[in-house]
Amino acid sequence: MSVRYLTAKLAQQIDEELMSATGAFSLDQLMELAGLACAQTLATVYSKEKYPRVLVCCGPGNQGGDGLVAARHLGMFGYKPTIWMPKPGSKDIYKRLKTQCDNMKIQTLAPADDTSTLRDVLARSDVILDAIFGFSFKPPVRAPFDTALPLISDSGLPIVSVDIPSGWDVEKGNAEGVGLNPEVLISLTAPKEGVKTFAGRHFLGGRFVPKSMEKFDLNLPEYLGFDQIVELPRAGTQKL
């Protein structure tokens, strides 16, 4: 059977159950596992020998937290990540993840109202990890990201998006035409409805999903060996 693609409501329900007394996961745990899967996906497709300079673009929510974890792991893998987050998250967990990156000597760009800083760092980067918006995003794209997404898109750099490409609706996809168009997508827990037609390389990172979640009929594929990710068939090669 094909893997199940989630609506926004079901994705939220599964997240809540994972962090409930029944699921017993903490947000810290889920972010750590998700961020590790994101870092492994980028490293699988883009070697540090050819693509050492990674621009990690983080939003202010949990998606950005996944990006901060990924940046730390990428640093440990031997990459040279730089963090761009013009609107840092205010939660304690976000601040702690940022401190962990600081302790790894990972550069974070100072927030700026203009786009010159982003232009400069894009010119010095080899690949982008897009961890700006998550599955709760609803258009339109607001400042400061409304001017940043076109710059990222026009950079010509390969993009790896976390869970859903930034600017896409979780169920309607890139219907507004304002979202990023990544070469690689790493879906977390299970893929979302809006990426059914995604044509690039598509990975899944959700090896933490317990057997108790079988009631949702996710039909998740097997993870091989000790990998934290598994590649999904490209759009059009399986019945969705």
Binding site listing: 62-66, 130, 134-140, 163, 166
Q: Are strands 230-232 and 159-162 parallel, antiparallel or unpaired?
A: unpaired
- From 147, 191, 227, 234, select the one nearest 10 (Cα to Cα): 191
Task: Please give the annotated binding residues for (6S)-NADPHX, written as ranges.
Answer: 62-66, 134-140, 163
- Cα–Cα dist 123/39, whole Å: 22
DSSP-derived secondary structure for 136-204: T--SSP-TTHHHHHHHHHHT---EEEESS-TT-BTTTBSTTS-S---SEEEEESS-BGGGTT--SEEEE
Q: What is the CA radius of gyration of the chain?
A: 17
**Amino acid (1-letter code) at residue 174:** N
**Amino acid (1-letter code) at residue 217:** D
Residue 170: Cβ-neighbour burial (10 angstroms; 0-12, 13-18, 19+): buried
Task: Please give the annotated binding residues for K(+), written as ranges.
Answer: 63, 130, 166
φ and ψ at residue 230, rounded to 5 degrees: -140, 140
